[in-house]
Amino acid sequence: MPPDHSTDAEGSATARLLRERLRSPIPVERFAVESLQKALGRVSRDVLPLAGVPVGELLLDPRVDLTTLVALKNCAKKLAARLSQPGAEYNAMVTIYFAAIASARVFHRRTISTHAPETLTQAFQRLHAQPWMPWELAELFTKATAT
């Protein structure tokens, strides 16, 4: 679940990490590539070009297909689960996780989550309210809440 609140120091660290993650390509760790391959049902040479596209661009581009958004969501979920305790990195991964869900809802009118609609709406609202949230994602979460 998204954080309810964070300290100023944690919020600053989260903002910095989130901006970095959004500008970065999809992590090409072995488990991430395998996750993408499985989700997309394609061979490595078809999946690896996504590794060069910044995550933020994928999340905010209405032309990105659902299978890519599902792969991003799953990758962020796995990365968050690997962290031993909540903090800035966890917050960044949870934000990307919910941003992928929001993107599918806004741009494709589809739900790619098993969370209840009310739970998703609460998560989008909570994330939108975070002071460290980039305005582009805050806007995406607002649109997802209204959809």
Mean pLDDT in each 10-residue stretch from start to end of the chain (147 residues)?
A: 58 85 68 54 48 86 91 89 84 95 97 96 96 95 95
Q: Specify the pLDDT at position 86.
A: 80
Quote the domain boundaries for residue 22: 8-146
Q: What is the pLDDT of residue 75?
A: 86
Q: How far apart are CA 16 and CA 88, in angstroms?
A: 9
Question: What pLDDT sits at residue 26?
Answer: 65
pLDDT at residue 24 in the model: 79
65: in domain: yes
Tell me, yes or no, whether 2 lies in a domain. Answer: no
Is 114 domain-assigned?
Answer: yes
90 inside domain: yes
CA 25 to CA 5: how far, in whole Å? Answer: 28
Q: Please report the pLDDT score of residue 30 as a whole number.
A: 47
Tell me, what's the pLDDT at 37? 55
Give the predicted TM-score (pTM) of the model: 0.77
Q: HSE (CB half, 13 Å, CA atoms) of 97?
A: 22
Residue 79 lies in a domain: yes
**Cβ partners under 8 Å of residue 137, min gap 6:** 18, 22, 59, 60, 95, 99, 127
**Number of domains comprising the chain:** 1
pLDDT given at position 140: 98
Asked whether residue 46 is assigned to any structural domain, the reply reads yes
Helix axis angle, 88-108 to 117-128, nearest 10°: 120
3-state secondary structure of 27: coil
Q: How far apart are CA 129 and CA 123, in angstroms?
A: 10
